[in-house]
């Protein structure tokens, strides 16, 4: 609270200066900026501490017996099973825990478990584990026994848990898709791309490793690109309804409902929430007659997500998502314009796709080297074809799910979806096996920060002077 008080004092003094300027007293303008900075940083620290207190549970407060709500599917581990649960016992109600047990009955999402002999588990590197758990809203890890379970009856309990509702819908749609398509990696790929769901197991692990090697692992995680495909599909369908043209507010509402519904069903991933927030802010600005600029929308969406969960800064998905979009904003136009006007449509399309891939990776590469110590350089030629495949696969999968409720022959459509997924798998394997396409460099935190700031400054310079270079190129083209 001292920082908040100092910030308010500095801001008050700067405002008081406006009233006493005529008396010959002068206070510099940087005083207001300093006060605002101190105030913002102090409020950020208070927010982080409040979030940590809200989600932290002391060992002495953990009961030995409790009721818990199942939030995720059980994962088989060498010592038994693990899953995420929400405690329902009054004194610790609402805390989320990772629960480990040796034996587990058949349970599903939303079921209630009777737990006993609960005791906390401590891992090596506890501070890193605690930060990682807090970024997902998890209070800690416990071991215990399951004395009994009650299946989910009705959806009344889930009305206050929209994320669990989304997981249930995701699981049921995934099961329906699994019944329509043959079992294998192609089906896992269709689930991951269209629903954001990838079951645990050997095939899923091999699929993920294949896409990591080819530099397009982001295809498997539902992100802003997937949401953009869904939004484009919805806009195309709304464009077929002529009377929607005269009702822009209704069209925006339908689009937002569809976008947020897909965000919920696809697992409420950080990049998808970011994209949905940005689209909502952009549409709100357009309807109010105040067109929004990308930097403002990007900053406001990040602020909203960090207010909800300050520990998201520790998640790679958060930093990579915002770094990629900022990198595209700064570098895409300078890269596209550096060769002048391209009149061949195919060459222009390929060049823009290459520029998009390069611009997105500029500020992402140091972060990948910091988090994982490696990066696949094949993203340069893999991003464009894979993005085209995904842009076709998502509408096909959702069309298949929609038509599956009708008594129609679906063999041609299922064959098309399965064939397209197999092609994506073969392309990923081929690109992942190419030599000299993997960069293995581990960066420390200081090295990553220095390199990232250097790249950011260079990208800003390119963006800043792009218009001048564009005029020079146009002059010399004559």
408-450, pLDDT tens digit by residue?
Answer: 888 899 999 999 999 999 888 888 777 877 888 888 888 998 9
Mean pLDDT of the chain: 82
Q: Are 278 and 298 in contact (CB under 8 A)?
A: yes
Q: What is the pLDDT of residues 181-204, one digit of tens each?
A: 988 888 889 999 999 888 777 777
Tokens linked to 211: 């896409």
DSSP β-bridge partners for residue 375: 439
Out of 9-13, 245-249, 373-377, pick the least confident: 9-13
Q: What is the average pLDDT across 200-214?
A: 80
How far apart are the C-alpha atoms of 383 and 433, rounded to whole Å? 16
Q: If residue 81 lies in a helix (H) or strand (E), which one and from where to where?
A: strand 80-87
How far apart are the C-alpha atoms of 170 and 266, rounded to whole Å? 6
Distances from the Cα of 476 to the Cα of 91, 321, 349, 466, angstroms: 74, 38, 24, 15
What is the percent of the chain where pLDDT is above 90?
21
Tell me the pLDDT band of 396, cut-offs 50, 70 and 90.
very high
Question: Quick one: pLDDT at residue 473?
Answer: 47
Q: Are 152 and 111 in contact (CB under 8 A)?
A: yes
The dihedral built from the CA positions of residue 211, 217, 223 and 228, taken in this order, carries a sign that is negative
Q: Are 167 and 72 in contact (CB under 8 A)?
A: yes
Out of 32-36, 142-146, 366-370, 376-380, pick the least confident: 32-36
Out of 123-127, 208-212, 254-258, 319-323, pick the least confident: 123-127
DSSP β-bridge partners for residue 75: 82
Q: Between residues 370 and 21, which one has the greater pLDDT?
A: 370
Tokens linked to 293: 């600029």
How far apart are the C-alpha atoms of 332 and 328, rounded to whole Å? 5
In this predicted structure, the answer to whether residue 471 has a pLDDT above a threshold of 60 is: no
Q: Are 194 and 393 in contact (CB under 8 A)?
A: yes
Please name the residues in contact with 312: beta carbons below 8 A apart, sequence gap of 6 or more: 135, 270, 305, 306, 318
Coil, helix or strand for 372? coil
How far apart are the C-alpha atoms of 338 and 466, rounded to whole Å? 9
Q: What is the pLDDT of residues 66-84, one digit of tens each?
A: 999 998 888 888 888 999 9
Q: Please state whether beta strands 66-70 and 112-120 pair in parallel, antiparallel, or not at all (unpaired).
A: antiparallel
Coil, helix or strand for 338? coil
How far apart are the C-alpha atoms of 66 and 189, rounded to whole Å? 38
How far apart are the C-alpha atoms of 171 and 184, rounded to whole Å? 17
Question: Quick one: pLDDT at residue 22?
Answer: 46
What is the percent of the chain where pLDDT is above 70?
87
Distances from the Cα of 126 to the Cα of 121, 122, 140, 444, angstroms: 10, 6, 10, 20
Q: What is the pLDDT of residues 112-154, one digit of tens each?
A: 999 999 988 876 666 666 777 788 888 888 999 999 988 887 7
In this predicted structure, the answer to whether residue 394 has a pLDDT above a threshold of 90 is: yes
Q: Between residues 277 and 198, which one has the greater pLDDT?
A: 277
In this predicted structure, the answer to whether residue 477 has a pLDDT above a threshold of 60 is: no
Q: What is the pLDDT of residues 74-119, one digit of tens each?
A: 888 888 899 999 998 877 888 889 999 998 888 888 899 999 999 8
Tell me the pLDDT band of 287, cut-offs 50, 70 and 90.
confident
Q: What is the average pLDDT across 198-227?
A: 82
C-alpha closest to that of 352 among 367, 335, 331: 335
Question: Quick one: pLDDT at residue 474?
Answer: 44
Q: If residue 5 lies in a helix (H) or strand (E), which one and from where to where?
A: helix 2-20
3-state DSSP percent of the chain in helix, strand and coil, to 5: 65, 10, 25
Q: What is the average pLDDT across 300-304?
A: 88
In this predicted structure, the answer to whether residue 316 has a pLDDT above a threshold of 90 is: no
Q: What is the dihedral of CA 328, 333, 338, 340, to 10 degrees?
A: 140
Q: Could you tell me how many residues make up the chain?
A: 478
Q: Output b/e per residue, 7-34; b: 16+ Cβ within 10 A.
A: beebbeebeebeeeeeeeeebeeeebeb
Q: What is the pLDDT of residues 262-274, one digit of tens each?
A: 999 888 888 888 8
Question: Quick one: pLDDT at residue 4?
Answer: 45
């Amino acid at each position: 609270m001292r920082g908040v008080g100092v910030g308010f004092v500095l801001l008050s003094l700067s405002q008081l200066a406006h009233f006493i300027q005529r008396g010959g007293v002068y206070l510099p303008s940087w005083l207001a900026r300093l006060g605002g900075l101190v105030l913002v940083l102090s409020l950020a620290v208070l927010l982080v501490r409040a979030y940590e207190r809200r989600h932290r549970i002391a060992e002495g407060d953990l009961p030995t017996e409790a009721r818990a709500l199942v939030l995720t599917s059980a994962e088989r581990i060498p010592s038994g099973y693990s899953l995420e649960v929400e405690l329902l016992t009054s004194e610790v109600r609402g805390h989320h825990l990772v629960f480990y047990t040796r034996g587990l009955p058949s349970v599903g999402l939303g079921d209630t478990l009777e737990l006993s002999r609960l005791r906390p588990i401590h891992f090596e590197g506890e501070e890193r584990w605690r930060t990682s758990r807090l970024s997902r809203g998890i209070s800690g890890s416990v071991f215990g026994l399951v004395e009994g379970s009650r299946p989910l009856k009705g959806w009344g309990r889930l009305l206050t848990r929209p994320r669990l509702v989304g997981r249930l819908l995701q699981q049921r749609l995934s099961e329906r898709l699994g019944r329509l398509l043959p079992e294998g990696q192609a089906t896992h790929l269709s689930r991951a791309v269209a629903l954001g769901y990838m079951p645990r197991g050997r095939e899923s692990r091999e699929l993920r490793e294949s896409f990591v090697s080819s530099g397009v692992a982001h295809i498997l995680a539902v992100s802003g690109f997937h949401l953009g495909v869904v939004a484009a599909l919805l806009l195309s369908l709304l464009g077929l309804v002529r009377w929607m043209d005269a009702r822009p507010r209704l069209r925006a509402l339908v689009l937002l409902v569809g976008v947020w519904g897909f965000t919920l069903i696809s697992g409420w991933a950080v990049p998808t929430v970011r994209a949905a927030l940005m689209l909502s802010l952009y549409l709100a600005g357009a309807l109010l007659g105040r067109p929004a600029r990308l930097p403002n929308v990007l900053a406001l969406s990040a602020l909203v997500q960090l207010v909800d969960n300050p520990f998201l800064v520790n998640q790679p998905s958060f930093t990579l998502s915002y770094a990629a979009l900022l990198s595209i904003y700064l570098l895409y136009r300078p890269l596209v314009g550096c060769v002048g006007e391209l009149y061949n449509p195919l060459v222009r399309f390929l060049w823009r796709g290459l520029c998009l891939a390069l611009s997105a990776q500029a500020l992402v590469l140091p972060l990948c080297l910091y988090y994982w110590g490696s990066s696949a350089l094949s993203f340069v030629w893999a991003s464009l074809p894979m993005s085209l495949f995904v842009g076709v696969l998502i509408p096909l999968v959702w069309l298949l799910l929609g038509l599956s409720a009708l008594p129609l022959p679906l063999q041609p459509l299922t064959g098309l979806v399965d064939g397209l997924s197999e092609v994506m798998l073969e392309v990923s394997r081929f690109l992942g096996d190419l030599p000299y396409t993997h960069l293995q460099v581990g960066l420390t935190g200081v090295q990553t920060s220095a390199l990232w700031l250097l790249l950011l400054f260079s990208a800003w310079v390119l963006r800043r002077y792009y218009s001048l270079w564009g005029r020079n190129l146009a002059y010399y083209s004559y």
